[in-house]
Amino acid sequence: MSKTPQAADRGRHELWIGGRHVAPASGEYFEDLNPQDDSVLARIAAATMQDVDTAVQAAQAAFGSYGRTLAAEREAWLSRAAGIMESRRQALVDLLIDEVGSPVGKAQFEVQYAIGCLRAAAGAARRVTGQTLPSDMPGRFSMSVRQPLGVVAAISPFNVPLLKNAKLTSTPLATGNTLVLLTSEEAPLIAHALADIYREAGLPDGALNIVTGFGDRIGDALTTHPLVKAVMFTGSSRVGKHIAALCGAQMKRVILELGGKSPLIVLADADLEQAADAAAFSVFFFQGQACMAASRIYVERPVYEPFCTLLKARAEAHGLGDLRDPQTWIGPIISERQRRRVRHHIEDAVAKGARVLTGGSWSGNRCRPTILLGVEEGMTVCREETFGPVTSIYPVDSADEAMRRARDTPYGLSAAIHTRDINKALPMALGINSGMVHINAPTIHDEPHVPFGGTGDSGFGREGTDIDIDTLTEWKWITVQLPMTP
| Greatest Cα-to-Cα distance within the chain, rounded to the nearest angstrom | 89
Sequence-separated (6 or more) residues with CB below 8 Å from residue 152:
172, 177, 178, 179, 180, 228, 229, 230, 231, 232, 472
Catalytic residue among 291, 308, 367, 382: 291
Residues 63-110: tens digit of each pLDDT: 999 999 999 999 999 999 999 999 999 999 999 999 999 999 999 999
CA geometry: angle at 188 spanning 186 and 194, to 5°?
Answer: 135
- For residue 297, pLDDT over 80 is answered with yes
pTM exceeds cut of 0.75: yes
For residue 484, what pLDDT is reported? 80
Distances from the Cα of 358 to the Cα of 155, 286, 316, 393, 394, angstroms: 36, 18, 7, 12, 15
Task: State the chain's mean pLDDT as an integer.
Answer: 96
- C-alpha distances in angstroms, 226 versus 24, 54, 168, 233, 373? 22, 13, 20, 17, 50
Is the pLDDT assigned to residue 485 strictly greater than 90? no
pLDDT at 3: 34
Q: In the chain, what are the domain boundaries? A: 5-258+458-476, 263-439
Contact 478, 144 (CB under 8 A): yes
Band (6; pLDDT cuts 50, 70, 90): very low
Question: Does 291 participate in catalysis according to the annotation?
Answer: yes
Of residues 210 and 319, more confidently modeled:
210
Judged against a pLDDT cut of 80, whether residue 300 lies above it is answered with: yes
How do residues 268-283 score in pLDDT, each as one tens digit? 999 999 999 999 999 9
Return all residues near 456 (Cβ < 8 A) that are at least 6 apart: 409, 410, 411, 412, 433
Per-residue pLDDT tens for 400-410?
999 999 999 99
- Do the Cβ atoms of 66 and 149 come closer than 8 Å? no
Does the pLDDT of residue 202 top 70, yes or no? yes
Q: With pLDDT > 90 as the criterion, what percentage of the chain qualifies?
A: 96
Q: Across residues 244-261, what is the average pLDDT?
A: 96
CA distance readout (Å), 420 to 271, 276, 328, 356, 434: 7, 14, 31, 30, 21
Give burial (CB, 10 Å; 0-12/13-18/19+) of 471.
buried
For residue 471, which phi and psi values (nearest 5 degrees)? Answer: -70, -35
CB 208 within 8 A of CB 198: yes
Percent of the chain exceeding pLDDT 70 equals 98
* Fold (topology level) of 263-439: Aldehyde Dehydrogenase; Chain A, domain 2 (3.40.309)
Choose the catalytic residue: 99, 110, 257, 300.
257
Strand partners, 232: 154, 255
Q: Tell me the average pLDDT across 127-135.
A: 96
Residue 450: burial class (beta carbons within 10 Å; 0-12, 13-18, 19+): middle
How many helices (H) and strands (E) in the chain? 15, 25
How many Å separate Cα 421 from the centre of its chain?
A: 32
DSSP assignment letter at 423: H
257 is catalytic: yes
Give the integer Cα–Cα distance in Å for 191 and 171: 16
What's the fold here for domain 5-258+458-476?
Aldehyde Dehydrogenase; Chain A, domain 1 (3.40.605)
157-179 burial, b if ≥16 CB within 10 A, otherwise e? bbbbbbbbbbbbbbbbbbbbbbb
User: How far is it, in rounded angstroms, from Cα 78 to Cα 298?
Assistant: 43
How many whole angstroms separate alpha carbon 262 and alpha carbon 258? 12
Tens digits of residue pLDDT in 19-49: 999 999 999 999 999 999 999 999 999 999 9
